[in-house]
Amino acid sequence: MAELVKKFTTETLLAKLPPETCWAVTAETLSRLAVLRMMKTSAPLLGKDEGILSLLSGWEKEVEVKKKIWEEGAKKMFPWITETFNIPVEDAVEAANFSIVVATLMMGPEEEDEIVEATPERAIYRSTKCLWWERWKEQEVDPGLIPCPITCEATFREGLKAVNPKLTYKATKFMTRGDPYCEGVIEFKEE
């Protein structure tokens, strides 16, 4: 399995990137985050991290909008990353490696991920440290109000499908729900 997982690593890929490309990815990610942040109030209300949209139309509507933003962004960003960096995504192992690269590009060096199972048909990867989760814990946000289980799954499901329609993604564990790590299962189905 180690051979399959080590086709390329995040460190070797990032070391080869020109600074302009790193800045382009960072700027795109930050601009997407700014759009999401605009839906937030400047200070938590009544001890809860509720967004402006939830005040107007309810929490469910806010989560629905955020999910759509991340899905649509992933459909564009994931193919752009594969093309820009010439990363193959032809099976579940390559998809897991690629997912770690995407997570690192989106969330920076604080992100810590590992592949715990890898075959060409099925791979499982875990995030053991997440920039989002760390910031939410620092701000003491109620985990029940964090949309990660919906937005993270939507991002990777739609993004991987955009680079290879034979890939599926299912999030199975979330730190925001009390799990010790976040976990995703990627499957490659030749149909």
Residue-level pLDDT at 39:
44
Neighbours of 142 (CB within 10 A): 13
Tens digits of pLDDT across the chain (191 residues): 555 455 556 666 667 777 777 766 775 666 556 545 544 543 344 344 455 555 556 667 777 877 888 888 899 999 999 998 889 999 999 999 999 999 888 877 788 999 999 999 999 999 999 888 887 777 777 777 777 888 889 999 999 999 999 999 999 999 989 999 999 999 999 87
Q: Model-level pTM?
A: 0.74
Distance in angstroms (rounded) separating the CA atoms of residues 69 and 112? 24
2-41+49-188: which CATH architecture?
2-Layer Sandwich (3.30)
CA distances from 57 to 27, 52, 53, 149 (A): 30, 9, 6, 21
Cβ distance 129 to 112 under 8 Å? yes
The domain spans of the chain are 2-41+49-188
Distance in angstroms (rounded) separating the CA atoms of residues 69 and 66? 5
Distance in angstroms (rounded) separating the CA atoms of residues 66 and 74? 12
Residue-level pLDDT at 57:
60
Task: Answer positive or negative: Cα dihedral of 29, 124, 126, 38.
Answer: positive
Residue-level pLDDT at 41:
41
